[in-house]
Amino acid sequence: MSKFDEMITVVPRKTIFNDEAYQFDGFKSIQDEETKYIYETINQYETKRRGDMEEDPSYKQLISYCILENENDEVLVYERLTGGGEGRLHGLSSIGVGGHMNDVPGATNVEEVIRENAARELEEEVGLNKQDVENMELIGFINDDQNEVGKVHIGVVFKLKVDKESVEAIETDTLKINWVNQSELSHNENYETWSSLIIDGIYRRGE
């Protein structure tokens, strides 16, 4: 099946941003009242064909985006290689492991849907199993309506503390991984937009 025929979870832009009243660009913590509203709207997700949604900014595609930190205060940074799925992001570095979300048959709530999707991506991309991701924490959302990729996606951002030795690039033709100290994250100027915004929103606050 073509990736464009994949059925993915989306939320109407009008719904998720409360008719633009809660629109934002950048990272927003789950502790913010507006962010809590956005989280509640995910309950109203629909499933639609990915190829149709890539060109339809009236919907926001839900993307899991998990930041991995290890015991040495390092953050996983990876480069998207040409074998990866999203051509518009090839050659750029990222601190978020994840991807599109699919419906989860039998799920009893939206929390289960987003966590199961995030866990699946972590297993497929960097080899983490269910036990490794048990302490995965939902920390907020990332949005950027200033470019064509960002207009049709919204990131559901998680943070996860992991054992460095448990992480590896499963598909070496799509990802090249590295660990970078938190204090040095901003030294790389080749990040995709979402990663740059999260670094500004989380890791530069303490500078």
Count of all residues that appear for the chain in the document? 207
What's the confidence (pLDDT) of residue 207? 47
Q: Give the pLDDT score at 3.
A: 86
Residue of 67 and 149 predicted with greater confidence: 67
Burial class (CB in 10 A: 0-12, 13-18, 19+), 11: buried
Going by DSSP bridges, is the β-strand pair 153-161/59-69 parallel, antiparallel, or unpaired?
A: parallel
Mean pLDDT of 1-27: 95
To the nearest 10°, report the CA torsion of 102, 23, 148, 193: -90
Mean of per-residue pLDDT scores for the chain: 91
- CB count in 10 Å sphere of residue 38: 25
pLDDT at residue 175 in the model:
80
Task: Supply angle C-alpha 172, 176, 179, rounded to 5.
Answer: 135
Q: How many CB atoms lie within 10 A of CB 186?
A: 15
Q: pTM above 0.85? A: yes
204 pLDDT higher than 90 = no
Q: What is the mean pLDDT of residues 146-168?
A: 95
* Beta-bridge partners for 140: 29, 157
Taking only the tens place, the pLDDT of each residue in 173-201 is: 778 899 999 999 988 778 989 999 999 99
Q: What angle do CA 64, 33, 12 make, to 5 degrees?
A: 50
How many distinct structural domains can be found in the chain?
1
Q: Mean pLDDT across the stretch 111-115?
A: 95
Rounded to an integer, what distance in angstroms lies between the CA atom of residue 14 and that of residue 60? 9
pLDDT band, residue 206 (cuts 50/70/90)? very low
Query: 28-67, pLDDT tens digit by residue?
Result: 999 999 999 999 999 999 999 999 999 999 999 999 999 9
Q: What is the Cα–Cα distance from 16 to 12, expressed in whole angstroms?
A: 6
Q: Which domain holds residue 172?
A: 3-203
Longest dimension (CA), the chain: 46
Least confident of 13-22, 23-32, 80-89, 119-128: 80-89
Q: Could you read off the pLDDT of 67-100 as tens digits, one per residue?
A: 999 999 999 999 877 654 555 555 789 999 999 9
Contact 197, 26 (CB under 8 A): yes
**Looking at residue 10, which CATH number applies to its domain?**
3.90.79.10
Q: What percent of the chain has pLDDT over 90?
A: 80
What percentage of the chain exceeds 70 in pLDDT?
94
